[in-house]
Amino acid sequence: MLSNKASWFSTTVMRAVVVNKFGGSEVLEIKRNVPIPKPKENEVLVKVAAVGVNPVDVYIRSGNYSKLPTLPYIPGNDVCGTVVHVGGDVKNYQEGDRVCSFRTSSGAYGEYTSICSKYLIKLPEDYDFVKGAAVGTPYLTAYRALIQKANFKPGQTILIHGASGGVGMAATQLAISKGMNVIGTAGTEEGMKMVRENGVKYVFNHREEGYASSVMSATGGQGVDGIIEMLSNVNLARDLDMLAPKGMVLVVGSRGSIEINPRAMMGRETNIQGVALGSSPDEDLREASLAVEVGLKQGWLNPVIGPKYSLNDVQQAHEDIIHNTGSKGKMVLII
């Protein structure tokens, strides 16, 4: 049971965003009488400080996603905060721990959330909560794509589309830490500058005609060994023409369909792989989580924070993440 002695349990309700029906951003309603989650024995209760906003949050809210939650629900999974209650079966965490996670049991857009302990990532004691909210999904997705799915090696050349966004920046930092050569793209001068400041020599604007030729020139005409693709419905056909022999496109994001010519894959025996964090086995998620904790300790893992919103501005955040003109770091809700 939750202790009544702690000040944060002086009430049984909390403020949270609730979705009662799928639809546009207007279905995101802020409620003040939502019951505080009751964690199970293998879970912890976290007092939420900040939440990462992801495009998938919008797809689910709109009803355009393969796996939809039961209505009503609290959106979000990327969360950061302080452990305030520990279930009886939890061994490696205690009250007061600063943690983040990529998967909650009760939703992230609220003042409290329950999280299974196997999905927790422990943060350094002085780690900034806002940055912590940008760790979970972006860095685990990057690890899933670059290491677990593709097994890219030091010295290989990787093109990262949307390198100024949350997942793109995570993939950039991870690839560089593993000794890979990174080429990045972004949609604005500000985004391109951000990517360069994170150690990428060759950065191109993917909104400009001819950027694919610039990528090929940067590789001496050989093409890239891998591509991290955030918007495959726009870029996939062009991606296939930029791959080196045996190269691979990792599809991290898509907002629709696209027609490709399979012959573009045949001569060089290239490959397309889908990446979905939600489909990852628990043992892979744990491996990725441990790698992220190492990155936090070593310091190469350093999220770049973009626009910040209050919970009251959640509808605007959902509009902006889909209709933005260029990613500039991870979008975060401050609770």
Per-residue model confidence as pLDDT tens digits over 161-180: 999 999 999 999 999 999 99
Co-location of 109 and 187 in the same domain:
no
In whole numbers, what is the pLDDT of the chain averaged over residues?
94
Give domain status of residue 288, yes or no: no
Q: Note the pLDDT of residue 81.
A: 98
Q: Tell whether 221 is covered by a domain.
A: yes
Query: Is residue 2 over pLDDT 60?
Result: no
Enumerate residues 6+ apart whose C-beta is below 8 A from 159: 182, 183, 184, 185, 215, 224, 226, 227, 228, 239, 242
Angle (nearest 5°) at CA 212 between 196 and 186? 35
- Check pLDDT > 70 for residue 3: no
> What's the burial of 79, exposed, middle or buried (CB within 10 Å: 0-12/13-18/19+)?
buried
Residue 291 located in a structural domain: no
Within this chain, do residues 121 and 184 fall inside the same structural domain, yes or no? Answer: no
In this prediction, residue 60 carries a pLDDT of: 95
* Total domain count, the chain: 2
Residue 290 covered by a domain: no
Q: Do residue 21 and residue 130 come from a single domain?
A: yes
pLDDT at residue 6 tops 70: no
**Distance between CA atoms of residues 115 and 74, nearest Å:** 14
Residue 11 confidence (pLDDT): 79
Amino acid 324: pLDDT: 77
**pTM across the whole model:** 0.91
* Residues above pLDDT 70, as percent of the chain: 96
Are both 159 and 231 inside the same structural domain?
yes
- Asked if the structure places residue 168 within a domain, the reply is yes
Q: Is the model's pLDDT at 301 over the cut of 60?
A: yes
90 burial type by CB count under 10 A (0-12 exposed, 13-18 middle, 19+ buried): buried
Other beta carbons within 10 angstroms of residue 286's beta carbon come to 13
Q: Which domain holds residue 151?
A: 139-278
Q: 162 and 254, same structural domain?
A: yes
Residue 285, in any domain of the structure: no
What tokens appear for 129 in the block? 């909560």
130 and 227 part of one domain? no
Would you say 187 and 206 are in contact if contact means Cβ atoms under 8 Å apart?
Answer: yes
User: What is the model's pLDDT at position 7?
Assistant: 47
CA contacts within 13 A on the Cβ side of 52: 30
DSSP notation for 40-108: -TTEEEEEEEEEE--HHHHHHHHT-SSS-PPSSB-----EEEEEEEE-TT--S--TT-EEEES--SS-S
Could you tell me if residue 308 is inside a domain? yes
Same domain membership, residue 159 and residue 121 = no
- Give residue 1's pLDDT band: very low, low, confident or very high (50, 70, 90): very low
Q: Report if residue 295 sits inside a domain.
A: no
Q: What is the pLDDT of residues 88-121, one digit of tens each?
A: 999 999 999 999 999 999 999 999 999 999 999 9
Which residue did the predictor score with more confidence, 138 or 1? 138
What is the Cα–Cα distance from 311 to 314, expressed in whole angstroms? 5
Give the mean model confidence (pLDDT) for residues 32-58.
96
Q: Does one domain contain both 50 and 162?
A: no
Please check whether residues 125 and 156 belong to one and the same domain.
Answer: no
